[in-house]
Structure 1
């Protein structure tokens, strides 16, 4: 399967900018919440939460929170994949004996954006 990546420069008007900023905040909040959930689960119960478990949780979040209902579900899964990738890279560096950096919480300036699983989706 051919994988492609595209980056687009947008020139939104003020209403579109507010909508994109709101979407950016929702993805950043999900990233930070998923990271916090993993940290808390390990500290309190010594269990590790997997990406699939968190994707199931997003389904429930979308049912309960009307603001997340308007966000594309597959783009939320891509955000959760970023959390999972951060953990994978952390543990890979630990295993290799390198200096690992634990996955960080993201501020507005440090969260680069969100993605979609397939072209034309969203």
Structure 2
């Protein structure tokens, strides 16, 4: 197994035909490319912005068929995961990708922790 993959993987679940690795990519988007290209399928779990929906809406969708209300603008990341996935697609290295996301609350002033609506989602 590649050393990069070992360092990123927090949990691994295996059986004879399949393996699931869980990792916290944090804000590493571009740095994750060498690791992500080694997989056949990818599920990104993150917040997603969506216009005209309530806070705490939960979405699960194929990255290639994102619902029209999903707004990819605005994030806490310097380089967004969206940009990373698009770059991977351009060179043909992106695994089949799905997104599991929840629409966040805009917090003002800054607050650490989950709001009750996001916790319930």
**TM value normalised by structure 2:** 0.25
- The structure where strand makes up a greater share of residues is 2
Which protein has the bigger helix share? 1
**Could you state the TM-score of these two structures normalised by the residue count of structure 1?**
0.25
